[in-house]
Copies of this chain bind each other. A is one copy, B any other.
Amino acid sequence: MSSVVDDGDLTARAGIRNAALRLFAERGHDAVTVREIATAAGVSPALVVHHFGSKDGLRGAVDTHAIDAFDRVFAELDDHDVAEMLTGGEATTSVAEAFSRMLPPGSPLPAYLRRLLLTNDPAGAAIFGRWFGATRRLLDAMVTLGAARPSDDPDVRAAFLLVNDLAVILLRNQIATAIGDDPLTPAGLDRWARQASAIYLEGAFAAPPAEPPGSAPNTSNIPNEPPEEAPS
């Protein structure tokens, strides 16, 4: 329903910024030229620098615009998470879910977040730090409410959960081809959340002593590597 992007803004300036956001997200800052951005926005290259001073200025404007949207997503996620937690619902609400809930399907923002986190620039570091703090606080609250097990290293556990969440966005394309569903669409997200919930609630691996000997029916093909060619 509610979207974090308001594209009622149809000035040329906003058009340039949106075109740059999309191109930067798809191909990276360095691989995109000012002329390409101008063409995509339907203006002249000179207008780009007239509005933003330089290509780097445009990059900065796109950064703040995107980060603003990300923070709105995460704030909404935080509220949503706390609410679900208090009502005793599924506690596993993910960043990916918030993204697919609040962003239109073809939004370039997930890919831009990927660029932001990949390049070691301060904007990505700042947003990660803020999200880490929020995750840490949420987990603390869940522990005191009995909704999460206590941990002897809560910083690492918070980082672990946040990072697993972000990985869905970072590796979206690879995941999509591997499982046959885009994990940022409702269908893929549902499958993903099911497995995540199962693991976060009960774990994935069995404790070693609990193995029942003798009752191991073979399902199908077992582990041997297929013969990949291995050049020296």
Residue of B nearest to A155 (CB): B179
Q: Which residues of B contact A75 (CB under 8 A)?
A: 225
Q: Would A147 and B211 count as touching, CB distance under 8 A?
A: yes
Q: Would B28 and A230 count as touching, CB distance under 8 A?
A: no
Interface string of A10-39 (1 = CB under 8 A from B): 000000000000000000101100000000
**In the assembled complex, A8 has its CB within 8 A of some CB on chain B:** no
Among the listed stretches A47-55, A99-107, A193-201, which one makes contact with chain B, having 4 or more residues with CB under 8 Å of it? A193-201
Among B132, B171, B200, which residue has its beta carbon within 8 angstroms of that of A205? B200
**In the assembled complex, A2 has its CB within 8 A of some CB on chain B:** no
Report which residue of A92, A174, A222 has the largest number of chain B beta carbons within 10 angstroms of its beta carbon.
Answer: A174
Number of interface residues of A (CB under 8 A): 96
Q: Which residues of B contact A148 (CB under 8 A)?
A: 204-206
Q: A146-B210, A156-B179, A170-B171 are in contact. List 10 more A-B contacts (CB 8 A).
A: A68-B230, A125-B177, A132-B174, A140-B219, A141-B222, A143-B219, A151-B198, A153-B191, A160-B164, A201-B205
Residue of B nearest to A145 (CB): B216
**In the assembled complex, A43 has its CB within 8 A of some CB on chain B:** no
